[in-house]
């Protein structure tokens, strides 16, 4: 598919709007799963670590499947993937209302809903990057606020629905709302050039390749036909049944020259199709080899390798607060009278603000987005280390706002990835990074829950979380120190469309 130059406007703003609502509808409930987490603890009576797997899978499985999601979007396009994923999210939420135990929720809410969200996220990010270049940071910031606004609204909405209709009714209504993703996905028109090849060209191109294989292997075809004929004659000779021989004699007398020619033509077509299938299998295998070779090349990029470790450690330590903050407040014996707003809602609205502000900052030429991303990691690590010292609703609300704002660095992560590997390799590189981000999302909350089950308090768990995020930030900072640039420039030149991070450079 040939894409024209990103218009940085026009129908691109429609893409931004529908992508915003798509992330709002699909991520609202999974990100606000902390409200459901308390209900599941009371309903099924399982441990905190075991119950936390439901929310962690819902937010992590889609990222774990990012390479598959990227292949789906590249193969079928953003619009078909978004429409199909809408059915997955809505169906998974509705199935969860009939869950008899926690294990059923692992499948319905964790895997089905999580995979649908992962497909939708990849589709919205990919098509937005195709439509925007100069304003890409703003566009990504706007669409990524959809999930944060969804977290803010769904946290209060799900609590009200649980009080009115119970947990099962809440999940049914939220699943029905998710069906609006189908309307949003239908508006994701692909960006194709007006002079792109017509669809028939692909079919026409396959025909010469097919016959080229046949003509190139003409001698082999004739040899294979001889083998087939020899096997056919040998079969007749080894068969000693009299009736069978008589039937063959009669058939030989009846067959005309025209039937013989049709038989030969059929044999040629069989051999020809066999050779074509072999060539197609070789091409597919070559594509897989090229994929892994490109993956190795990506990891030779120092900045990309550092991003890999940073995103993994960031999600192990930074994701648990959005899932467990409500239970942290309950464990701290905070009075319900002081509980003015759900802490998850505070995280959601501040994440929306953070994504928007950080996305706008990424568009300024004097701002180095990688250093900005490192700064958010270091500040988040410090905020996580402060959670064990919070013993009131006010301090927890302040820390929730800070953590929410810093979590907004998700809006600049695709921007940093694009500038690191280029727009051509964005889908490949982003899929790999999101896979390990999903691994961190899946492991983070259960680890924190297990720490609580072991120590009966959250202090040790968040010391661990804060150190993980700080370690990821320092590793990324070391990878982009100015002293590395001189060595890199002397050894080799960067490939085209690759971003080089220097002190004076900007994103």
DSSP 373-440: HHHHHHHHHHHHHHGGG--SHHHHHHHHHHHHHHHGGGGTHHHHHHHHH-GGGHHHHHHHHHHHHHHH
332 close to 386: Cβ distance less than 8 angstroms: no
420 close to 297: Cβ distance less than 8 angstroms: no
pLDDT of 45 above 50: yes
Maximum mean pLDDT: which of 123-137, 149-163, 172-186: 172-186
Per-residue pLDDT, averaged over 400-422, amounts to 82
R_g of the chain, CA atoms, integer Å = 29
Q: Please state the domain extents for the chain.
A: 1-195, 285-483
CATH homologous superfamily of 1-195 equals MFS general substrate transporter like domains (1.20.1250.20)
What pLDDT was estimated at residue 41?
86
155 close to 350: Cβ distance less than 8 angstroms: no
Torsion angle of the four alpha carbons 51, 408, 464, 109, in this order, in degrees rounded to the nearest 10: 10
pLDDT of 198 above 50: no
Residue with tokens 């020259």: 257
Task: Using a cut of 0.85, tell me whether the model's pTM lies above it.
Answer: no
Two structure tokens written together for 125: 């990010």
Q: Is 77 left (phi over 0), alpha (psi -120 to 50) or beta?
A: left
440-465 burial: b if 16+ Cβ within 10 Å, else e: bbbbbbbbbbbbbeeeeebeebbebb
Query: In whole angstroms, what is the distance from residue 197 CA to residue 157 CA?
Result: 48
Nearest to 121 by CA among 177, 176, 63: 63
DSSP three-state, residue 499? coil
pLDDT of 216 above 60: no
What pLDDT was estimated at residue 502?
39
Distances (CA, A) of 263 to 242, 248, 255, 256, 266: 25, 15, 11, 11, 5
Per-residue pLDDT, averaged over 204-216, amounts to 42
φ/ψ of 495, rounded to 5, equals -65, 165
What pLDDT was estimated at residue 175?
93
What residues have CB less than 8 Å from 504, skipping those under 6 apart?
none
What pLDDT was estimated at residue 402?
92
479 close to 305: Cβ distance less than 8 angstroms: yes
Two structure tokens written together for 155: 């946290």
What would the pLDDT profile of 91-129 be if each residue is shown by its tens digit?
999 999 999 989 999 999 999 999 999 899 888 988 888
φ/ψ of 120, rounded to 5, equals -65, -40
Per-residue pLDDT, averaged over 55-74, amounts to 80
Distances (CA, A) of 128 to 2, 13, 17, 21, 34: 16, 9, 10, 13, 30
The two domains 1-195 and 285-483 share their CATH topology (first three levels equal): yes
What pLDDT was estimated at residue 76?
87
Two structure tokens written together for 139: 């566009």
Q: Is 45 left (phi over 0), alpha (psi -120 to 50) or beta?
A: left
CATH homologous superfamily of 285-483 equals MFS general substrate transporter like domains (1.20.1250.20)
Higher-pLDDT residue of 234 and 309 is 309
Lowest mean pLDDT among 52-56, 203-207, 380-384: 203-207
Q: What percent of the chain has pLDDT over 90?
A: 17
Query: DSSP code of 495?
Result: P
Query: In whole angstroms, what is the distance from residue 297 CA to residue 308 CA?
Result: 14
pLDDT of 16 above 70: yes
Query: In whole angstroms, what is the distance from residue 274 CA to residue 268 CA?
Result: 10
φ/ψ of 101, rounded to 5, equals -155, 175
- The count of other CB atoms within 10 Å of the CB of residue 279 is 16
Q: Is 166 left (phi over 0), alpha (psi -120 to 50) or beta?
A: left
What pLDDT was estimated at residue 87?
94
Query: In whole angstroms, what is the distance from residue 172 CA to residue 92 CA?
Result: 10
DSSP string, 156-189: HHHHHHHHHHHHHHHHHHHHHHGGGHHHHHHT--
What would the pLDDT profile of 23-35 be if each residue is shown by its tens digit?
999 988 888 888 8
Higher-pLDDT residue of 273 and 242 is 273
Maximum mean pLDDT: which of 287-301, 394-408, 419-433: 394-408
Burial class (CB in 10 A: 0-12, 13-18, 19+), 124: buried
What pLDDT was estimated at residue 150?
87
Maximum mean pLDDT: which of 382-391, 448-457, 480-489: 382-391
- The count of other CB atoms within 10 Å of the CB of residue 141 is 27
CA angle 170, 175, 179 (to 5 degrees): 150
What would the pLDDT profile of 437-476 be if each residue is shown by its tens digit?
878 878 888 888 888 888 888 888 889 888 999 998 898 8
Rounded to the nearest integer, the mean pLDDT of the chain is: 76
Residues in the chain, total: 507
pLDDT band at 266 (very low <50, low <70, confident <90, very high): low
What pLDDT was estimated at residue 250?
45
Residue with tokens 């809410």: 109
pLDDT of 346 above 60: yes
Higher-pLDDT residue of 473 and 500 is 473
Burial class (CB in 10 A: 0-12, 13-18, 19+), 331: middle
Query: In whole angstroms, what is the distance from residue 496 CA to residue 455 CA?
Result: 52
Sign of CA dihedral 64, 70, 72, 73: positive
């Amino acid at each position: 598919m040939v894409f024209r130059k990103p218009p940085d406007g026009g129908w691109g703003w429609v893409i931004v709007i529908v992508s915003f609502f798509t992330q709002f509808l699909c991520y609202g409930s999974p990100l606000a799963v902390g409200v459901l987490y308390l209900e599941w603890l009371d309903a099924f009576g399982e441990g905190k670590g075991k119950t936390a797997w439901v929310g962690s899978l819902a937010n992590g499985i889609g990222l774990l499947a990012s390479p598959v999601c990227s292949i789906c979007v590249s193969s079928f396009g953003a619009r078909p993937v978004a429409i199909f994923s809408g059915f997955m999210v809505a169906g998974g939420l509705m199935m969860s209302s009939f869950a008899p135990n926690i294990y059923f929720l692992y499948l319905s809410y964790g895997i089905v809903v999580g995979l649908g969200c992962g497909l939708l996220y990849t589709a919205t990010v990919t098509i937005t990057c195709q439509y925007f270049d100069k304003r890409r940071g703003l566009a990504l910031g706007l669409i990524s606020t959809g999930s944060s606004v969804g977290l803010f609204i769904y946290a209060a909405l799900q609590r009200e629905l649980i009080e009115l209709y119970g947990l099962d009714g809440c999940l049914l209504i939220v699943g029905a709302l998710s069906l609006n993703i189908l309307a949003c996905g239908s508006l994701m028109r692909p960006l194709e050039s007006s002079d792109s090849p017509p669809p028939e060209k692909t079919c026409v191109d396959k025909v010469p390749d097919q016959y080229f294989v046949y003509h190139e292997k003409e001698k082999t075809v004739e040899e294979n036909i001889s083998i087939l004929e020899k096997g056919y004659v040998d079969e007749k000779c080894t068969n000693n049944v009299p009736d069978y021989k008589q039937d063959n004699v009669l058939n030989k007398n009846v067959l005309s020259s025209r039937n013989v020619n049709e038989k030969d033509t059929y044999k040629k077509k069989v051999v020809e199709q066999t050779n074509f299938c072999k060539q197609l299998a070789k091409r597919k295998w070559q594509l897989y080899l090229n994929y892994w070779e490109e993956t190795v090349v990506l990891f030779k990029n120092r900045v990309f390798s550092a991003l890999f470790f940073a995103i993994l450690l960031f999600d192990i330590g930074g994701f648990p607060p959005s899932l467990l903050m409500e239970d942290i407040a309950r464990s701290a014996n905070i009075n319900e009278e002081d509980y003015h707003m759900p802490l998850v809602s505070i995280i959601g609205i501040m994440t929306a603000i953070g994504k928007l502000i950080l996305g706008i900052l990424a568009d300024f030429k004097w701002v180095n987005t990688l250093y900005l991303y490192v700064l958010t990691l270091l500040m988040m690590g410090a905020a996580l280390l402060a959670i064990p010292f919070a013993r009131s609703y006010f301090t927890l609300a302040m820390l929730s706002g800070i953590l929410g704002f810093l979590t907004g660095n998700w809006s600049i992560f695709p921007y940093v990835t694009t500038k690191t590997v280029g727009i051509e390799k964005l889908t490949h590189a982003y899929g790999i990074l999101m896979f390990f981000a999903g691994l961190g999302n899946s492991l983070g909350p259960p680890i924190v829950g297990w720490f609580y089950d072991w120590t009966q308090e959250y202090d040790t768990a968040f010391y661990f979380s804060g150190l993980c995020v700080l370690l990821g930030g320092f590793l990324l900072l070391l990878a982009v120190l100015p002293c590395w640039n001189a060595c890199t420039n002397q050894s080799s030149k960067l490939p085209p469309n690759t971003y080089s991070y220097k002190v004076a450079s900007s994103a």
